[in-house]
Structure 1
Amino acid sequence: MLITVARYSLPYEAHLARARLEAEDIPAFVMDEHTINMQWLYSNALGGVRLQVPQGFEADAAAVLAENREPDLEDLEPTSSTRCPYCGSCDTHYHQIGRRCAFLVFLGIQFPLFPVRAGIRCESCGQISETENNPG
């Protein structure tokens, strides 16, 4: 007999939890996923996508699903290695240079004439600069 240990709105959430349980050698099954995939509006009416385990595994499954694994992911998250050339900060993120001009030209003549280049935006000083690996 299968016992429902968790309910999810979307099938991918249930599959992530199923994979976590199976990594701990707990057999798990996802129920109603195809119904929700076909008619996602039925998710709340059906009680969502159910994650079920065999009887006897429900306590172990509940303990595994209750674990907070967020600190493990934070340790694996890569930090930006690109430094801002203006202030030296590593608090940067990807930014496309020239995208706005290309969009405006596209609206005007239906063809983008300006190339879009890769760059970085510094969150500390707000400066935008090209990355070093840009050709030309």
Structure 2
Amino acid sequence: MSQLVVVARFSFPHEAHIARSMLESEGVPAFVADEHTVNMQWLYSNAIGGVRLLAPNGHAKRAIELLQQDNSDTLCEVLAEEYPDTADACPDCGSTEIEPYTQGKKAAFVVFLLLGFPLFFYKHGLRCRHCGCFWRT
């Protein structure tokens, strides 16, 4: 068997396993090292260089190329095809000019200043920039 080479390093074992699965799906053998050390004492992760993803020397170049690919646009296309009715649009006017918004944030801050402890009565959601409609996600 050829020598194993480090092709990537990760802070957490689950990240390394996702990358390993992707490499194996492309026919590149890969192995995860130091995952148990990080699982037992995660503060050691940076000290030991993280969780290592290893590949045989003959497959290392291909593994690095695969790991450097950005497939985020493909994911967005697949999600849009699978869930077409989840496109973000205002339920009142249908506008797509929406933004994340926290309703009641100012009042919660004032209560915190006056009473000295927080009262969490705000709501996270989306707000339409066109008509001002707020809805929870």
Flag whether TM exceeds 0.5 (same fold): yes
Change (3 A) 1:65 1:92: same
Structure 1 portions without partners, runs of 5+: 98-119, 132-136
* Matched positions, count: 119
Q: Is 2:95 the counterpart of 1:89?
A: yes
Give the conservation status (yes or no) of the 8 Å contact 1:89–1:122. no
Deviations along 1:46-78, one digit per CA (max 9) or x if unpaired, are 000000011211111111111121221121233
Give the conservation status (yes or no) of the 8 Å contact 2:23–2:29. yes
The aligned residue for residue 51 of structure 2 is: 49
TM-score scaled by structure 2? 0.66
The aligned residue for residue 40 of structure 1 is: 42
List structure 1 segments (4+ residues) > 3 angstroms apart after TM superposition.
90-95, 120-123
Decide which of 19, 22, 41 is 2:21's aligned counterpart. Answer: 19
Give the conservation status (yes or no) of the 8 Å contact 2:100–2:127. no
User: Counterpart of 2:38 in structure 1: which amino acid?
Assistant: I
Tell me how far apart the structure 2 counterparts of residues 88 and 29 of structure 1 sit (CA, whole Å).
49
Bigger mean CA deviation after superposition, 40-49 or 74-83: 74-83
Deviations along 1:74-131, one digit per CA (max 9) or x if unpaired, are 2123363464243212456899x9xxxxxxxxxxxxxxxxxxxxxx734333312589
The aligned residue for residue 64 of structure 2 is: 62
| Aligned sequence identity (%) | 44
Give the conservation status (yes or no) of the 8 Å contact 1:36–1:43. yes
The aligned residue for residue 8 of structure 2 is: 6
Larger helix fraction of residues:
2
